[in-house]
Structure 1
Amino acid sequence: MIRRLALLGTLILAAAPALGQGIGALKGHDSDAPVDVSSDHLEVQDKANRAILTGNVRAQQGDLSLAAPRMTAAYLPGQNGGDPQIQRLDASGGVTLVSPSETARSSFAIYDLNRRIITMIGGVTLTRGTNKVSGGRMVYDLNSGRATMDGSAVGGGSAAAGGRVTGRFTVPKRQDQPQSR
């Protein structure tokens, strides 16, 4: 069991490149950088090739962090005694993804490490400064740096928004100009 926990720690730290340097800068993030994970409890289900982390779970890589009450790491067993290879991280129970410039919140998040895609589902909000966009699902492609958001019909966003993506953006402040007479 201790060997399994050590392998899991290596798996998560070495192979979970889910988190880079901010939503706007994730396109070029270093997928080989280590990820630090902490939780109140860890359960390894070796026969199912997964590990379940519960209680104040936090995954951190560089300046980006992912926090949730629960995360599941799905992995493939190591070949010829090698380290397991993580394939996917699922976070649930109220997820917060934070970069230096943005914060995204949702009910669930899925990080597909092979495809390099982070999907946030259920009441998604993305905030940058005073700007805010809300919807039902956000998909962030780390390869292209492109994020797309869908309305509530897809992922359970706000019913008040009528199933649409909504947003509020600041505009530049204008200096008072003299009025002509």
Structure 2
Amino acid sequence: MKKILPAIMAMMIAMGINTANGQLNAGSDAPIDITGDQFEAFRDKDYVVWTGDVQVVQGEAILTAPRLTIFGVESGNLQRINAEGGIRYTNGAEAISSRDAVYSADDETVIFTGDVVVVQGEQVLTGGRLVYYTQTGQLNFTSAGADRVRGIFITED
């Protein structure tokens, strides 16, 4: 189980996107608490699955999803984390929601797909697909369909 915690932490930190400046929010040393209706670990497979109202909490950061699959657990070589079925991440000040999110260690990305909404204060970005590059802080938001990427930015004036 200790190998799972860095993987979850990586996804939560990566999902803490600050859309104003494209930077990661600071990580936390707080413990990670994962709950769900069911947990499955497979003897000959290198992944674990949490299902049923999965909630991952670290400090003020909360990730919820109906299903969370973590690949690379037994080998100690985190490959991927899939959050599926309608995900929501919030850290109190910012929130991201989408149908699915995938953290990939190989290309150091978090990819959100399906009705992606990023909220930071009064600022809102929506689109079909968001790719976040964890090492560089680069964001690539695309429409991924008929709708366009939309940003609503409120000025202080």
Asked if Structure 1 and Structure 2 have the same fold, meaning a TM-score greater than 0.5 normalized by the shorter chain, the answer is: yes
Q: Which has the higher helix share?
A: 1
CA distance in 2 between partners of 1:54 and 1:35 (Å): 17
Residue 46 of structure 1 aligns to a residue whose secondary structure is coil
Deviation at 1:163, TM superposition (A): 2.7
Q: 1:128 is matched by which residue type in structure 2?
A: Q
Q: CA deviation at 1:10?
A: 1.7
- Helix, strand or coil: the match of 1:51? strand
CA 1:61–1:139: 2 relative to 1, 3 Å: farther
The one of 126, 141, 148 aligned to 1:149: 141
* Residue identity matched to 1:56: D
Q: 1:40 aligns with which of 9, 19, 37?
A: 37
Residues 4 and 73 of structure 2 are in contact (CA less than 8 Å); yes or no, is this contact kept in structure 1?
A: no
| Equivalent residue runs for 1:105-124 within 5 Å | 105-124=97-116
Q: What TM-score comes out, normalization by structure 1 length?
A: 0.72
The answer to whether structure 1 residue 50 and structure 2 residue 50 are counterparts is no
Contact 1:27 1:142 in 2 (8 A): no
Unaligned runs of 5+ in 2: none
| 2:48–2:73 contact (8 Å) kept in structure 1 | no
From 24, 27, 32, the counterpart of 1:26: 24
- Tell which structure's C-alpha radius of gyration is larger: 1
1:41-65: per-residue Cα shift (whole Å, max 9, x none)?
1011232311111011122345433
Provide closer, same or farther for how the CA distance between residues 15 and 135 of structure 1 changes in structure 2, counting only shifts above 3 A: closer
Corresponding residue of 1:158: none
Alignment map for 1:24-173 (pairs within 5 Å): 24=18, 25-26=23-24, 29=27, 35-75=32-72, 77-78=74-75, 84-153=76-145, 162-173=146-157
Structure 1, unpaired ranges of 5+: 1-8, 79-83, 154-161, 174-181
Contact 1:119–1:137 (CA under 8 A) maintained in structure 2 = yes
SS at match of 2:44: helix
Distance, in Å, in 1 between the alignment partners of 2:137 and 2:27 is 10
Residue 110 of structure 1 aligns to a residue in which SS?
A: strand
Distance in 2, Cα, partners of 1:128 & 1:63? 15
**CA positional deviation for 1:137:** 0.5
TM-score (norm 2): 0.82
Q: Residue 99 of structure 2: SS of its match in structure 1? A: strand
SS at the partner of 1:47?
coil
User: What's the Cα RMSD here?
Assistant: 2.4
> In structure 2, the residue corresponding to 1:123 is in which secondary structure?
strand
The number of residues matched between the two structures is 151
Residue aligning to 1:178: none
d(CA) in 2 for partners of 1:125 and 1:92? 15
Q: Is the 8 A contact 2:94 2:120 kept in 1?
A: yes
